[in-house]
């Protein structure tokens, strides 16, 4: 929402000046805020009522304890005062006036109390009542499990967190390139890169935290090329006794993220791929560099154990989303964990796969939508999702030219083949195209909105 010149001028004033400048226009906003406290589901009215009842019972108990001696005199004095008031002011006037005055004092007192509490949160632009309403709404949201890795999963989470706080991201730990690969080789920790991206996406202060976690050191022996977020998670792993799961949980508390981020497994997983020309390529970062067509994919160890918390999250989920992300190096690595495959096949909740917009060179060259479905089915030996979400329109001509230079093209929707596979197609405009770089990605808010709309209909 655009900021008016008046609002800009008011923000430049000191707190005291701002208070005086807003006096003429603050009453309606304050009254509106009082009514918000009466909103259903806020869990405030019941506690106010209980507090008032407790005060009344305390006074009554005290009166009984002292045998009513001073209370009788007080009641008599109040009775005489009321008779005097009603003699000069009729009861049909004095009664409502007293009632309204009492309610005003009650609301005013509660408002001032809430104002004092709100001052304890100076870093938030929201009123306390708005924060409570948002908190209640998000915690009533569906239990969503999102499975994948890379930038695709973090993009999805960035949109989903606006609809629910009950999100569990199950993330691949097969990355062996860049900063994550160096930390994996030198220190022996699981690759933190994808975990880092997901935690930043789910954080309340997402923009600042993303910049901090994505910051890469440009100098310093040993530091050069490392991101701060990777070093942060590595340090947390050491502090928690080399327990990666505890390190993620502790980091999540520090960063106040909405939901949970879990690794698919705690095993040191390394991907391998057999290409159609017979070559065997090991290592996630080397698979796409090999430049061949992937015929088979697997991992070492062959049957990595799943993280129990991940299996529990899938069993308790209301909604399961896979992708978007690199098919063979972000989505499928999670499905190479046998217990995750079994858990996904067992649940009876809506399950959807978000297909990529563009093919990925060295990984999904020439792939159609049906090819993506077949690749996942081959790994799982069965269908583990009910529908596939596909971008409705093609990118601009400028973007197509840009991607063609990289041997990347839009994923073609072969409708008949997909229907023959027994998979439901969901078409929507979920693309975000950057006019400066001509790059296309999934739009976080559009993607989440479409996914939640489909969920509500199932």
> Residue 125: what pLDDT?
57
Per-residue pLDDT tens over the stretch 283-338: 998 998 888 899 999 999 999 999 999 999 999 999 999 999 999 999 999 999 99
Q: Cα separation of 383 and 367, whole Å?
A: 19
> Residue 313: which of 339, 286, 287 has the closest Cα?
339
- Residue spans of the chain under pLDDT 50: 1-2, 4-10, 12-27, 122
Question: Helices 178-186 and 193-202: crossing angle, nearest 10°?
Answer: 120
Element housing 388 (H / E): strand 387-391
> Residue 115: what pLDDT?
63
Q: Cα separation of 324 and 441, whole Å?
A: 10
Angle CA(345)–CA(346)–CA(351) in degrees, nearest 5? 60
CB of 429 within 8 A of CB of 446? Answer: yes
Angle CA(428)–CA(422)–CA(375) in degrees, nearest 5? 80
Backbone angles phi, psi at 349, to 5 degrees: -115, 165
The two beta strands, 260-263 and 280-282, are unpaired
> Residue 209: what pLDDT?
72
Q: Cα separation of 190 and 201, whole Å?
A: 20
> Residue 69: what pLDDT?
59
> Residue 185: what pLDDT?
78
Q: Cα separation of 389 and 146, whole Å?
A: 14
> Residue 331: which of 169, 193, 180 has the closest Cα?
169
> Residue 93: what pLDDT?
78
What's the burial of 441, exposed, middle or buried (CB within 10 Å: 0-12/13-18/19+)?
middle
> Residue 305: what pLDDT?
97
> Residue 120: what pLDDT?
54
Ordered DSSP codes for 186-230: HT-PPP-HHHHHHHHHHBTTHHHHHHHHH-B--SSTTTTT-BHHH
Element housing 290 (H / E): helix 284-290
> Residue 356: which of 403, 315, 402 has the closest Cα?
403
């Amino acid at each position: 929402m655009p900021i008016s010149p008046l609002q800009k001028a008011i923000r430049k004033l000191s707190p005291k000046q701002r208070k005086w400048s807003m006096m003429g226009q603050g009453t309606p906003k304050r009254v509106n805020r009082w009514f918000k406290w009466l909103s259903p589901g806020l869990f405030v009215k019941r506690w106010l009522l209980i507090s008032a009842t407790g005060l009344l019972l305390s006074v009554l108990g005290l009166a009984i304890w002292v045998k009513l001696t001073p209370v009788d005199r007080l009641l008599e004095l109040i009775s005489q005062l009321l008779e005097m008031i009603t003699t000069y002011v009729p009861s049909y006037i004095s009664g409502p006036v007293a009632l309204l005055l009492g309610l005003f004092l009650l609301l005013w007192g509660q408002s001032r109390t809430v104002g004092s509490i709100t001052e304890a949160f100076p870093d938030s632009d929201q009123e306390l009542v708005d924060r409570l309403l948002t908190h209640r709404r998000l915690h009533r949201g569906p239990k969503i499990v999102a499975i994948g890795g890379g930038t695709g999963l973090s993009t999805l989470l960035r949109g989903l967190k606006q609809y629910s706080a009950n999100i569990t991201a199950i993330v691949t730990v097969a990355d062996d390139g860049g900063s994550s690969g160096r930390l994996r080789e030198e220190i022996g920790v699981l690759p933190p890169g994808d975990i880092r991206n997901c935690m930043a996406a789910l954080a309340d202060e997402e923009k600042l935290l993303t910049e901090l976690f994505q910051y890469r050191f440009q100098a310093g022996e040993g530091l050069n090329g490392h991101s701060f977020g990777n070093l942060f998670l590595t340090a947390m792993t050491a502090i928690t006794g080399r327990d990666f799961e505890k390190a993620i949980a502790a980091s999540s508390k520090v960063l106040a993220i909405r939901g949970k981020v879990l690794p698919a497994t705690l095993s040191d997983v390394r991907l391998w791929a057999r290409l159609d020309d017979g070559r065997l390529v090991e290592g996630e970062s080397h698979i796409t560099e090999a430049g061949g067509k992937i015929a088979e994919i697997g991992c070492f160890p062959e049957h990595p154990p799943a993280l129990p918390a991940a299996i529990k999250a899938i069993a308790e989920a209301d909604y399961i989303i896979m992708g978007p992300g690199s098919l063979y190096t972000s989505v499928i690595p999670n499905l190479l964990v046998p217990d995750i495959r079994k858990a996904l096949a067992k649940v009876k909740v809506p399950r959807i796969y978000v297909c990529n917009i563009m093919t990925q060179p060295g990984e999904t060259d020439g792939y159609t939508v049906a090819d993506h479905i077949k690749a996942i089915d081959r790994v799982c030996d069965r269908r583990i999702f009910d529908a596939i979400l596909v971008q409705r329109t093609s990118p601009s001509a400028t973007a197509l030219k840009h991607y063609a230079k990289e041997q990347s093209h839009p994923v073609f929707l072969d409708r008949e083949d997909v229907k023959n596979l027994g998979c439901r197609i969901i078409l929507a405009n979920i693309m975000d195209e950057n006019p400066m770089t001509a790059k296309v990605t999934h739009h976080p808010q559009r993607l989440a909105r479409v996914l939640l709309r489909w969920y509500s209909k199932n």
